[in-house]
Structure 1
Amino acid sequence: MPEMPEKEQAADERPRRRQARGERRIAQLLEAAASVFCTTGYTAAGTNAIAREAGVSPGTLYQFFPNKEAIAIELGDRLIHEMRATYGEALAPVDPTTPLEEAVGAAVDRFIAFNCDHPVFFALMHGPDIPGRIAEEHDALHVTLVSRIEALLSSLLPTTPAAEVTRTAHVCLGMYKAGLELVLAHEGAEREAYVRELKNILFRYLAPMIGDQPATRTNLTAPAAAADR
C-alpha cells in the first residue's frame, strides 16, 4: 500500500491536534466549573466565574459551551457514567463467608470515596435547581437503584410483605443520603468518624432483619451501597 504524501499527512494531523486541544480545554473548563459549583452552588455560579477559575476569557468558554447549563449537563453526564461504574464495583458479589459488617463497610467505602473525590456530584444532584436533563437522568438512576435494592432485599427476606421491603429500601436510601451529607461537610479525622457512624447505622438496621446466616451475606453490599444517589 503506497504511503501517504508528507503534505497530506501533515494536513491529516492538524485536525487531530485541534481536536486534542479542544478536549483538553473542555476538561479544563469542566474542572473549573466543578470547583465553582462546589463553592457557590449551581444557582449562584456564572460563566464569568467559571472562565476566571479556568484562566480563560468568557469568549473562549463560549466557543465550547453556550451557557452554564450546558456545562453542568456535560459534567453531570460524565459523573453519572463514572458513578454507574462505581455501582458495578460496589454491587459485585462478595465471598459468602464475609461478615455483614465488613460487607456493608466495604460498599460504603467505595461510594464515600467517589463522592469525596467528586464533591460536585453531590452539589449538582442535590441542589435546588438541578438542570432538567440532569434531574431526569438522576431520577431514572434513583428508580433503578431502589428497584434493585427491593429485589435483593426480597431474596434475603422472602416472607416479608412487598410493602415492607419497599419501605426498607427507601429507609436505607434515606439513611445513606443523610450520612453522606454529614460526611462531606467534614474533613480529616472528623469525616472518618462520621463514616464509621454511617456504617454502624446501616449495619445495625439491616442485621436484625437479614440475620447472621453466611448464605445471606453474599448480597449485603447492595442494600448499603445502592443507597447513594
Structure 2
Amino acid sequence: MSESKAGQRDETAKPRRRQARGERRIQQLLDAAASVFCRAGYTSASTNAIAREAGVSPGTLYQFFPNKEAIAVELGERLTRQMQETHGVVFTPENATLPLDELLDTVLDPMIEFNCANPAFLTLLHSADTPGNFLEEHAAVHDSIRDRISDLIGLRNPALSPERRTHIATMSFGLFKAGLTLILDHEGAEREVYIAELKTALYGYLAPTLGTGRTSARL
C-alpha cells in the first residue's frame, strides 16, 4: 500500500474517532444533567453542577453546550425519540386482538418502564422554566399517542364513532398519566402495587366498551 493511501485512510479515521469521542462526551453530560435535574429540579440546576456531576470542567461542558437550556433541549429531544420508539412497538393491530388484561400489560409495561428509567423526562415536562422547544415536541408526541390509542380502540370495537373513540382514548391516557405520577413516587413493592392498581382501573374502565377476551379485530 502506498504511503499516500495509508495517510488518506489515517486522516479519514481521525475525524471518526474524534466524532465518537465527542458523542460519548455529550452522552456523559446529558446523563449528568438528567441526574442533576431530577435531584435539584430544572430551575435550580446549573451548568457548574452538571459539570461536577459529569466529572469535567465547566470549560469542557461549554465546548458542547452554550448553556443549561441547550442541554435541556438536547436531553428532551433524545428522551422523546426513545419514548416514540417505545410506543411504536406496542400500538399494533396484532396487539389489539389480545385479551384485555394482556393488551394492558403489553401496552403499559414498556411505557411505565421507560418513565421509571428516565425520571428526568417528567421533571423537564413539569418544570415551568423548561425550554419551549421540548414542550412543543412533547405536545405533538402526546397527540400522536392519543391518536394511536384511539386507533387501537377502534380496532377492538369498530362500531364506536370517531368522537367516542377520541373521548375514551383521552380518558384512558389521562388515567395513565395520573397513575404514573403515583408509580414514580414509590419504589419497590409499593411501586408494583400502584402499577397493578393502574391496570385494574383501566381494565374496569375499558372492559364494558372493549370486552375482555381475545377479539377478531380487523388487521
- Normalised by the size of structure 1, how large is the TM-score? 0.85
Deviations for 1:16-58, whole angstroms, at most 9, x for unmatched residues? 3222221111111011001011111211111111011111111
Identity %: 52
Distance in 2 of aligned mates of 1:213 and 1:186 = 32
In structure 2, stretches of 5+ residues that fail to align are none
- In structure 2, the CA distance between the partners of 1:62 and 1:95, relative to structure 1 (3 Å rule), is closer
In structure 1, stretches of 5+ residues that fail to align are 220-229
Are the counterparts in 2 of residues 95 and 218 from structure 1 also a CA contact under 8 Å? Answer: no
- In structure 2, the CA distance between the partners of 1:7 and 1:97, relative to structure 1 (3 Å rule), is closer
Aligned to 1:80: 80
* Aligned counterparts, 1:8-19, within 5 A: 8-19=8-19
Are the counterparts in 1 of residues 183 and 191 from structure 2 also a CA contact under 8 Å? Answer: yes
Q: Does 1:184 align with 2:184?
A: yes
- In structure 2, the CA distance between the partners of 1:10 and 1:159, relative to structure 1 (3 Å rule), is closer
The secondary structure found in structure 1 opposite 2:92 is coil
Deviation at 1:125, TM superposition (A): 2.3
One-letter code of the match for 1:129?
A: D
Are the counterparts in 1 of residues 91 and 152 from structure 2 also a CA contact under 8 Å? Answer: no
Are the counterparts in 1 of residues 93 and 155 from structure 2 also a CA contact under 8 Å? Answer: no
Deviation at 1:69, TM superposition (A): 1.0
Which range is displaced more, 37-46 or 14-23? 14-23
Aligned to 1:59: 59
Deviation at 1:64, TM superposition (A): 0.3
Distance in 2 of aligned mates of 1:96 and 1:143 = 19
**Aligned alpha-carbon RMSD (Å):** 2.3
Aligned to 2:43: 43
Are the counterparts in 2 of residues 32 and 51 from structure 1 also a CA contact under 8 Å? Answer: yes
Distance in 2 of aligned mates of 1:210 and 1:12 = 58
Which range is displaced more, 163-172 or 101-110? 163-172
Aligned residues: 219
- In structure 2, the CA distance between the partners of 1:96 and 1:173, relative to structure 1 (3 Å rule), is closer
One-letter code of the match for 1:109?
A: D
Are the counterparts in 1 of residues 99 and 213 from structure 2 also a CA contact under 8 Å? Answer: no
- Normalised by the size of structure 2, how large is the TM-score? 0.89
Deviations for 1:163-196, whole angstroms, at most 9, x for unmatched residues? 4332211111110001111111111111111111
